Structure 1
Amino acid sequence: MGAELSQRCPAILVAAPASGQGKTTVACALARLHARQGRRVRAFKCGPDFLDPFWLAQASGAPVHQLDLWMTGEDDCRARLHAAARDADLLIVEGVMGLFDGEPSAADLARRFDLPVLAVVDAAAMAGTFGALAFGLQHYQGGLRWAGVLANRVASARHAQLLQGGLREPADWLGGLPRDSRLTLPERHLGLTVATELDDALARLDAAADALAATPLGRLEPAALQRWAVDFTAPTAAAAGRPLAGRTIAVARDAAFCFIYAANLECLRALGAELRFFSPLAGAALPACDALWLPGGYPELHAARLSANRALQANLVAHVQAGKPVWAECGGMMALFDTLVDTQGQAHALWGLLPGRVQMQPRLAALGPQQLTLPAGTLRGHTFHYSTCATPLAPLARTARPGQAPAPDAGEALLQHGSIRASYFHAWFASSPAATAALFTRPNRWPN
């Protein structure tokens, strides 16, 4: 193949037998280590995750995109990998959950693109069984290209010897990271704490990179990485229109509204939109715009400050009264309701553009892949939230799980109130550019 159709670049998929094993720490440590050495690193996250990419972006110094054979699609994955391989010295893909969990799984992604698999195993409470887990991950399903295994939370040099001794193939041993609180990334109710909110985020990444530098994986020379080289081919490019040309979309972006796929911003720009960012937490007014996007995030952690931004509330009222569209997803929708009750049971008067009440719950209210069928097309995405809402508004539509039809008592409701459309559903815009453009078009031009 010509250079324009195929790009060769070392790549690795960081996987594990389960969540909580240390995939993000290892993926970030590897990215930070090579970036510090002057290499161009591009990182990706497998699955619909907003939080791990903050850490991967901090470690690699480059934007992080999602790869998901269902949500983003194979062609989208192929295009992003090919584009990254054109400019990078190393590609790192962080898996999701356990290697074989989910449909499609991280293993499916690895097979589809011939990605070598590095298994990270929390070895804190095991010795010889470490070898059995590594062997099982390698051989449970055929067709996987194997890179090796790295132990996490290793207690001592003797512990590392026991772990290494349990492997059938000595060459599979890529080292171990010590049990050290400095190598643990902090968490809260939706997952990892956003890296940009922590003053010591880079110090944590450097500590992890330093620890990895002492392992066989960390000591690999650039030439040795070529054993993990992959040929990434480009998909056939589809013609793209610009239905949002000449339109300005305001995007809320701060600690309360931070669940934004970088690829969604790229999609809006590709559709012709100009984006203007603003921070409701900073007391910002709504920029001059034709449409508004309120993404998800953590309004429950900042409810008092959001409630106090009455100037923005007045801007929003004027925006809606002018018939200008609003797309609000998950946390963005929560901020538009009359009342938000936080985890301490305190009620906050929010912006009052949607009638009803949102209440935080101690347990997950919904989780998983979803699709939303609109007149212009079907958007793929996911849902993940701890709150529930009570509203007199009747759903305009409902999301459904992959391969299922919408049901009146399942999925996430799509609400419409004036020019506002809102849902707990997080959309992957590139899955249907036409439907995305419709979300930012006046509802009276959107047939129901």
Structure 2
Amino acid sequence: GYGCTTCIGNAGDLAPELNEVITRHELVCAAVLSGNRNFEARIHPNLKANFLASPPLVVAYAIAGNVMTDLMTEPLGKGKGGQPVYLGDVWPTSDEIHALMKFAMKGKAYRDNYARVASEPGKLWERIRGVNGTTYTWPKSTYIAEPPFFETFELAPPVATEPPSVKGARIMALFGDSITTDHISPAGNIAEKSPAGQWLLEHGVLKADFNSYGARRGNHDVMMRGTFANVRIKNLMLAPDANGSREEGGWTTCQLEGAAQGQKLSIFDAAMRYQAAGVPTVVFAGEEYGTGSSRDWAAKGTQLLGIKAVVARSFERIHRSNLVGMGVLPLQFKAGDSWESLGLTGEETIDVLPHPDLTPQSDAQLVITRPDGQTRQLSVTLRIDTPVEVNYYRHGGILPFVLRQLLTA
């Protein structure tokens, strides 16, 4: 495929028969595209291998039909008379491309079409009705909704009655290295059986009209259900199967005391149970947590799930900053430490005790209480890196901080 629609996962679904065969036989199938993203499951949930290529190579592989074809030595197929046709036979020359570009780039056609929007908007645009007033009137929609970030907003900043901390937290997930923002907040297709897919069905949206997470990023109900819902993410809290492989998808094991303890739930469903019980949660990860696109919803969704801290061996710089901006503590292991070296299983209870002044990059204490009551304490680095970020965190995040600045100016 070519263009941004493919990059964001909007190229369309595979035929149902192909999806069924891929799933039943656990096939590793590939996409070749000239977009700019090849994250796991970005192009389609059932495509595990995604290769970026130039537009002519995309066409060449489509003709060959198999990414295992060596285009330098093997033919793409057979032409007239059964003669083999190689890549060099069909590859366009620079002169051929230049001659065609003048037909593809007609600036006047674009200007004329956009100019007609005002004079001839068409029936769809004409049906849109504006509203009056100083604030936006939120329509009933599965695409946009009033976000909950200011529901408890007060003009006066919160007054701390005790040093900032996270106490009695349960572990939501144990992740490995290179968890991307696309793992945390996917932008591609919405799986029918996912929490977001089920929510859309409950609100009258047909599977064919799901669109993508990227298209529905204006609706927090969809996006928070999509957080950690990438079909390729692996929560290492879940035990491996008989052959040692790990289950993929946004799953966790609920650690609330009672009948649900140890039950496998979607991360969204578990988060709702923890929040209803007033129990904070934390996430542990390895190197390069939050690498990839600088996606704001990766931090927004984390906050809406009630996750209070992320402890990782290292962070991608923009996602670390976004976590602070949403009031989530980023904490970094010291050299040589990791959740693996600590022997964490996900059954532990976690306390996070930062420096009372939230001094940037100061030591914070991580207190781990195991199921048998044994405790271990170690130092981690508070990755609130600047005094400005300290202010953001004390205000509950950058959104209430900025709103208070505007209202008191």
TM, length-normalised to structure 2? 0.25
Question: Rg larger in 1 or in 2?
Answer: 2
TM, length-normalised to structure 1? 0.24
Higher strand share: 1
